Amino acid sequence: HALGGRCLQCAGRQVRDVPLTSYALFCAACPATSSSSSSSRSSALPLSSMARLGGSGTGELTFAAFVALAARLEPEPGERLLYLGSGSGRAVIAWALLLQQSCASGVEASPLLHEVAVAGRGRLPENVRGRVFLHCGDVLATQGEWHHASVIFVSARAEDVGPITEGLQGVRPGTRVVAISQPLSPDPQRAPAGFALAGTGAYRNARAGNSTVYIYRRI
């Protein structure tokens, strides 16, 4: 990358070791979607198709980027992840592999992306698969369950950010909310009412670009 490229914002982040078996299981569950060899055999969805859906799959992070982001959140054993707009399920699967005592849930509106996520979950070992929960439907219809999670990821279209932010007012104090690409406040340098902005950063996404991440904490 040229000097000053956005990926240089990764400099200074703490590197976390991940067991090779966890990475291998992730690769088996989430085969590379950018490969021209993707087919119905692997249940992988080409990234071009994800982009046409205009849904959450376009901002999903690479495994290495997600590991770095998860380390920044400093999760405790047993913390539950909820991903609103979970796309093809990469982050949900990665969380369950990284935190062996934790559950991860994803809600995705696109039936096609949900189908990819379910196929990936099916390729996980049973002890991991039992901690991954995937739902297809309107994320706003699940608001009554959001308070069960201590870490919430949000990948949403700009027009959906307002209603989601309003719904997040019901989560417990201390809950970390991670917004991918779209900040929860009109001013990216500020947090919505009831939240503090804990940090921002650029993280590599699965489309070989960078996604800006906004981290908030419920106060």
- Token pair for 51: 């982009």
Helix (H) or strand (E) holding 212: strand 210-218
Mean pLDDT of 97-114: 96
Q: Among positive and negative, which fits the CA dihedral 156, 159, 160, 164?
A: positive
Instruction: Kindly list the distances between the CA atom of residue 54 and the CA atoms of 58, 120, 155, 208, in Å, as whole numbers in the listed order.
Output: 7, 21, 11, 17
Could you give the 3-state DSSP secondary structure of residue 87? coil
Give pLDDT tens digits for 41-53: 334 444 444 443 4
Confidence of residue 167 (pLDDT cuts 50, 70, 90): very high
**Cβ burial 61-71 (10 Å sphere, 16+ → b, else e):** bbbebbbbbbe
Rounded CA separation 177/198 (Å): 10
Model confidence, pTM: 0.86
Rounded CA separation 171/174 (Å): 9
For 174, residues 6+ apart whose C-beta sits below 8 A from its C-beta are 150, 217, 218
